[in-house]
């Protein structure tokens, strides 16, 4: 007896939607063999009917509105339009109609996912979102299934390809932030308005999801502290390299007896660490579990087919269920086991620091600086002094010991007040992953 196919409706036929159509077509046989049944796209919605597309729509019903796809005779709705308001309403409508949902919408899951997951659970349906984080890297499955035997205490990742491309260009070619951003926009890595990428908001959405699954907490986007790239100067890139580090924009989540810390910011990473070697638009995520130790996952974090790979993986999981209730919780823990944990403020978070100062070239400068740090019980792990070249001032770069943000900032205020310290300075966090 033949097995009925899983019928899929795609809302939004952009880069990822077209990728899903292509992947399902070219890998149809292996997908059916793994899922136990064929998976076919029967309905799609498009904004422009006659637009040129890189996929074949023969035999697929094309609708002018996403609501029509949700109302169609499909088993699963793929929400690939982005945004939060319309996508939220479409997902609720699909669930109300008895249809499972696959989405790549990290902002929606991070900001409103708790209620949507609860709605799907109440109806015995799947709400799957592997494609919401790190594109083709199956990091959600890694955390939710592959590392399920571990208590995970930390994770850190390059989870925004645009930021990684910009920092790579600044490092490899000596470009300024503005020039590297302009190149990213020309290549399509960055939007005309790049705020979500370069200010850490996109990465914060993704970190929210990863931390929830890693630590068994409800999604809490409001707890993520973010810092963008615009303050990273080419001087910092060069000085970091001389000190043995690369600067990467990381999303970092840690759990301790004091609570959970969630932060996205430019970070100095030791040269030898794999995260430091992940360049261009690639993504990489480092996870530390108490049984497995450190593991690192690297791959393409965006693009049509890498992201479609994650969407189709979710579709295969749903096809395997064959109408049964999901057996793997969306956030990796049963709803009853999810527990809110205290969130540490960014001022309470402890890390090492990189400090770049521009100072007058005169006697006693280093002694005054080191005295202030010593009085704050801040050790200096490394120091680099650059003598004046075409200007009168010197530059000093310092790597400190691990200290809370509040204590470091208090010492920094005293340093700022010194008469020989110029306004031009930089302060970045350092992670050694020990």
Q: Which distant-in-sequence residues (6+ apart) come within 8 Å of 111 by Cβ?
A: 84, 205, 219, 221
8 A C-beta contact, residue 264 and residue 225: yes
Q: Name residue 404's beta-bridge partners.
A: 350
Task: State yes or no: is 26 an active-site residue.
Answer: no
Q: How many CB atoms lie within 10 A of CB 122?
A: 10
Find the radius of gyration of the CA atoms of the chain. 24
* Contacts within 8 Å (CB) and 24+ apart, 27-35: 27/312, 31/312, 31/316, 34/316, 35/6, 35/315, 35/316, 35/319, 35/320
8 A C-beta contact, residue 234 and residue 174: yes
Comparing CA positions, the residue from 212, 201, 209, 208 lying closest to residue 249 is 201
**Burial state string for 7-40 with b = 16 or more CB within 10 A and e = fewer than 16:** bbbbbbbbbbbbbbbbbbeeeeeebbeebebbbb
Give dist(CA 80, CA 77) in Å, integer: 9
Run of H or E including 117: helix 106-123
- Taking CA atoms, 273 is separated from 5, 115, 140, 251, 343, in Å, by 45, 38, 22, 16, 28
Choose, from 99, 106, 141, 206, the residue flagged as catalytic. Answer: 206
Question: Is residue 392 left, alpha or beta, with left meaning phi > 0 and alpha meaning psi from -120 to 50?
Answer: alpha
Comparing CA positions, the residue from 103, 128, 135 lying closest to residue 12 is 103
Torsion angle in degrees (nearest 10) through CA of 399, 403, 406, 412: -30
Give dist(CA 307, CA 404) in Å, integer: 38
Provide the annotated active-site residues. Answer: 206
């Amino acid at each position: 007896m033949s097995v009925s196919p899983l019928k899929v409706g795609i809302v939004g036929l952009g880069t990822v939607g077209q990728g899903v159509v292509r992947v399902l077509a070219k890998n149809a046989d292996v997908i059916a063999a793994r899922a136990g049944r064929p998976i076919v796209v029967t309905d799609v919605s498009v904004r422009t009917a006659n637009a040129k597309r890189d996929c074949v729509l023969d035999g697929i019903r094309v609708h002018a509105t996403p609501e029509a796809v949700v109302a169609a005779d499909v088993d699963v709705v793929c929400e690939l339009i982005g945004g939060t308001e319309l996508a939220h309403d479409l997902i609720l409508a699909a669930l109300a109609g008895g249809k499972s949902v696959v989405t790549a919408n990290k902002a929606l899951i991070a900001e409103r996912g708790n209620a949507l997951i609860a709605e799907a659970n109440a109806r015995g349906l799947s709400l799957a979102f592997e494609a919401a984080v790190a594109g083709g890297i199956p990091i959600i499955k890694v955390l939710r299934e592959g590392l399920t035997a571990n208590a995970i205490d930390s994770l850190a990742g390059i989870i925004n390809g645009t930021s990684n491309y910009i920092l790579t260009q600044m490092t490899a070619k000596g470009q300024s932030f503005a020039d590297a951003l302009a190149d990213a926009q020309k290549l399509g890595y960055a939007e005309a308005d790049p705020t979500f990428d370069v200010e850490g908001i996109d990465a914060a959405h993704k970190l929210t999801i990863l931390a929830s699954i890693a630590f068994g907490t409800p999604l809490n986007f409001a707890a993520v502290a973010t810092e963008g790239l615009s303050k990273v100067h080419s001087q910092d890139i060069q000085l970091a390299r001389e000190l043995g580090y690369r600067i990467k924009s990381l999303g970092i989540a840690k759990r301790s007896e004091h609570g959970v810390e969630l932060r996205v910011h430019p970070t100095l990473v030791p040269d030898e660490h794999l995260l430091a070697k992940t360049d261009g638009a690639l993504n990489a995520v480092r996870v530390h579990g108490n049984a497995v130790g450190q593991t690192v996952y690297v791959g393409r974090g965006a693009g049509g087919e890498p992201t479609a790979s994650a969407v189709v993986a979710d579709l295969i999981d749903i096809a395997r269920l064959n109408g049964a209730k999901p057996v793997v919780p969306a956030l990796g823990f049963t709803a009853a086991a999810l527990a809110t944990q205290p969130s540490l403020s960014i001022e309470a978070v402890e890390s090492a620091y990189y400090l770049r100062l521009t100072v007058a070239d005169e006697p006693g400068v280093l002694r005054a600086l080191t005295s202030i740090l010593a009085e704050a019980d801040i050790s200096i792990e490394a120091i680099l002094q650059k003598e004046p070249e075409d200007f009168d001032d010197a530059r000093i770069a310092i790597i400190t010991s691990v200290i809370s943000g509040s204590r470091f900032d208090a010492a920094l205020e005293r340093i700022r007040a010194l008469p020989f310290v110029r306004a031009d300075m930089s302060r970045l966090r350092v992670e050694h992953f020990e």
